[in-house]
């Protein structure tokens, strides 16, 4: 493809010695008001080097630049140099690349030769897979897809919460009140029930907490009974979790959880001690980080048992040694910010340069309209229940509006589950948000069903007529404003994907998908497509086809299916 942004940067570089090509390219942008042009270059940073006001610099550059054939006009406006691309050239280049690359359109080799680990979901064994887990799960899966799309070798890791004192609590609860036959029928709710009962009983009987700590120490020391019960809890939990992951279309390359690193912690502890990084404090071991503005980090408890932080140190070291990553991403809630600051700082103190490649991608909380979620008190909404409810309500809508739809149960799954996922990814990740099923399932507004319906609409048009992407197309027939708006958005797709990966923000792609759907619907309403004029019909079908391709690609990156009929 003729990369206009790069070409404009090269054009400018011939007249700007004060900046590198890369610095100029970084500044080339899309004007918010498309009437100002397709690309713009702000001249403000050149004031010092040119010793002129930005508006004078823009005027001077305008006079100096020899306008190439792909540019119709260059204008200097308020310190900006605006470029209007030749509409026919633009439409031809963009649409032909979409039709040529199809499901690869928007991808690139920016990540070629680089390995990225993405840790996400990381649910706790024997606890509910609740609505609070959707953020890590779907942000992580979307980033996984985006990074792969950009050529990175990716490793998706589900760092299961399968270790820690809570398993001592669960073992005690199981031995006191558990019924294996009852639990096997419905594992998570039953395990949750006895886990909650443990906390209720421990309020009146604190000795239960000591017993729980004792059982966890036994588990760390490979006591046969402790390991047998822990394995039972894990196997029953994974059976339920994998059912939810299958519904969400989420996959992992590794389920290595906290327990996987239990035999790797002694080496980490030895290294911390040998390098004099840890100090004794009231019988425990800590790393004093106060001079870095970070509270002390607890490494081992008084009884010598490990902590989550110790296991994260071991996990990071193992991943570097085993995978030799270029980037190690952790999709974990904002509540864990301090935890990540601590262990990443400790990795730095251990002398490992790759500490800077460990990235905490944090996010805000999700609540339901009924209130916030809490596992410990038993007030929890299971994610699977929300997904099933969304599918059920979607099927009701389909039965009402399109009862003869083929495969309507499958379509209801694609739309219902996609709607839940899309609302999650449409929200900027660092913001808290309240989940609303009613808003989520709307076929209007900024929702997943709206984008999916637009894709299905494009498919419907294409089913009515034979369209050959290889045919001769007169792109000069796509120079009306609504057609140009769609073309501009199609052209931006790769930029959007690269930006999403750079900022770890899937919502960039989700919002792009909505904007493309909105612009396509304007085009659809303003322009008759199946007209008698063959040349005009073919040109507009090319735009319909290209929009369908890019909407499907965008939906896939934010973990949604793209039904062809709705």
Active-site residue set: 127, 130, 133
| End-to-end CA gap in the chain | 33
CA-based nearest residue to 132, from 361, 442, 386, 360 = 386
**What is the separation of C-alpha 362 from the centre of its chain, rounded to a whole number of angstroms?**
11
* Structure tokens belonging to residue 297: 């980090």
CB atoms inside a 10 Å sphere around CB 515: 16
* Structure tokens belonging to residue 327: 């980037």
Within a 13 Å sphere around the CA of 562, how many CA atoms are in the beta-carbon half? 23
**What is the separation of C-alpha 217 from the centre of its chain, rounded to a whole number of angstroms?**
37
What is the rounded CA–CA span in Å between residue 20 and residue 518?
37
* Structure tokens belonging to residue 187: 């594992």
* Structure tokens belonging to residue 200: 């209720």
CA-based nearest residue to 367, from 388, 385, 381, 377 = 381
Pairing of strands 115-119, 327-331: parallel
**Contacts of 43-46 spanning 24+ positions with Cβ under 8 A:** 43/79, 43/80, 43/81, 44/79, 45/19, 46/16, 46/18, 46/19
Coil, strand or helix at 29 = strand
Please report the DSSP string for 88-147 in residue order: HHHHHHHHHHHHHHGGGTT--STTTT-EEEEE---PBTTS--BGGGHHHHHHHHHHHHHH
Pairing of strands 39-42, 80-85: antiparallel
* 3 state SS for 162-224: CCCHHHHHHHHHHHHHCCHHHHHHCHHHHHHHHHHHHHHHHHHCCHHHHHHHHHHHHHHCCCH
Can you list the alpha helix ranges (DSSP code H) found in 14-51?
21-27, 47-50
What is the rounded CA–CA span in Å between residue 517 and residue 128?
36
* Structure tokens belonging to residue 111: 């990540």
Find where tokens 């490793």 sit: 155
CB-neighbour burial class of residue 444 (10 A; exposed 0-12, middle 13-18, buried 19+): exposed
Cα angle value 339/305/187 (rounded, 5°): 80
CA-based nearest residue to 179, from 161, 159, 193 = 193
């Amino acid at each position: 493809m003729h990369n206009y942004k790069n070409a404009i940067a090269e054009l400018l570089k011939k007249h700007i010695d004060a900046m590198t090509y890369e610095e100029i390219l970084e500044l080339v942008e899309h004007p918010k008001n498309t009437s100002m042009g397709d690309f713009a270059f702000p001249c403000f940073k050149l004031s010092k080097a040119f010793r002129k006001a930005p508006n004078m610099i823009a005027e001077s550059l305008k006079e100096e630049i020899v306008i190439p054939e792909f540019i119709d006009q260059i204008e200097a406006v308020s310190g900006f140099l605006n470029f209007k691309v030749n509409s026919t050239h633009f439409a031809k280049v963009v649409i032909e690349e979409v039709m040529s690359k199809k499901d690869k359109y928007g991808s690139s080799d920016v990540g070629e030769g680089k390995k990225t680990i993405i840790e996400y979901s990381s649910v706790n064994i024997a606890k509910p897979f609740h609505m609070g887990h959707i953020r890590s799960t779907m942000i992580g899966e979307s980033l996984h897809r985006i990074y792969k799309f950009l050529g990175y070798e990716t490793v998706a890791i589900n760092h299961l919460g399968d270790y820690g004192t809570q398993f001592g609590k669960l073992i005690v609860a199981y031995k006191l009140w558990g019924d294996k036959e009852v639990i096997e029928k419905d594992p998570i709710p039953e395990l949750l029930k006895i886990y909650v009962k443990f906390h209720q009983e421990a309020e009146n009987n604190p000795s239960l907490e000591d017993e729980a700590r004792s059982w966890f120490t036994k588990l760390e020391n490979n006591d046969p009974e402790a390991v047998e019960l822990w394995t039972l809890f894990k196997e029953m939990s994974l059976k339920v979790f994998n059912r939810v992951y299958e519904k969400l279309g989420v996959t992992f390359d590794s389920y290595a959880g906290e327990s996987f690193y239990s035999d790797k912690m002694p080496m980490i502890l030895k290294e911390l001690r040998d390098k004099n990084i840890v100090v004794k404090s009231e019988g425990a071991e800590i790393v004093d980080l106060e001079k870095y503005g970070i509270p002390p980090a607890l490494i081992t408890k008084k009884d010598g048992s490990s902590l989550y932080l110790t296991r994260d140190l071991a996990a990071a070291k193992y991943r570097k040694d085993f995978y030799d990553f270029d980037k190690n991403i952790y999709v974990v809630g904002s509540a864990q910010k301090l935890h990540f600051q601590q262990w990443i700082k400790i990795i730095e103190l251990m002398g490992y340069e790759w500490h800077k490649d460990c990235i905490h991608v944090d996010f805000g909380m999700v609540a339901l309209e009924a209130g916030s979620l809490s596992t410990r008190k038993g007030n929890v909404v299971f994610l699977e229940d929300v997904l099933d409810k969304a599918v059920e309500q979607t099927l009701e809508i389909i039965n009402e509006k399109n009862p003869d739809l083929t495969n309507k149960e499958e379509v209801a799954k694609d739309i219902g589950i996609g709607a839940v996922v899309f609302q999650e990814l449409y929200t900027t990740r660092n913001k808290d948000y309240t989940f609303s099923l009613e808003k989520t399932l709307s076929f209007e507004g900024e929702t997943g069903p709206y984008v999916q319906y637009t894709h299905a609409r494009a498919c419907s048009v294409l089913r009515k007529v034979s369209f050959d992407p290889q045919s001769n197309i007169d792109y000069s027939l796509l120079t009306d404003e609504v057609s140009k708006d769609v073309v501009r958005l199609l052209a931006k797709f790769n930029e959007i994907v690269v930006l999403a990966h750079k900022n770890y923000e899937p919502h960039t792609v989700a919002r792009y998908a909505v904007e493309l759907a909105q612009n396509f619907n304007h085009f659809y309403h303003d322009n008759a497509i199946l007209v008698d004029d063959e040349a005009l019909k073919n040109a507009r079908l090319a735009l319909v086809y290209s929009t369908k391709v890019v909407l499907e690609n965008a939906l896939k990156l934010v973990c949604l299916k793209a039904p062809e009929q709705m």
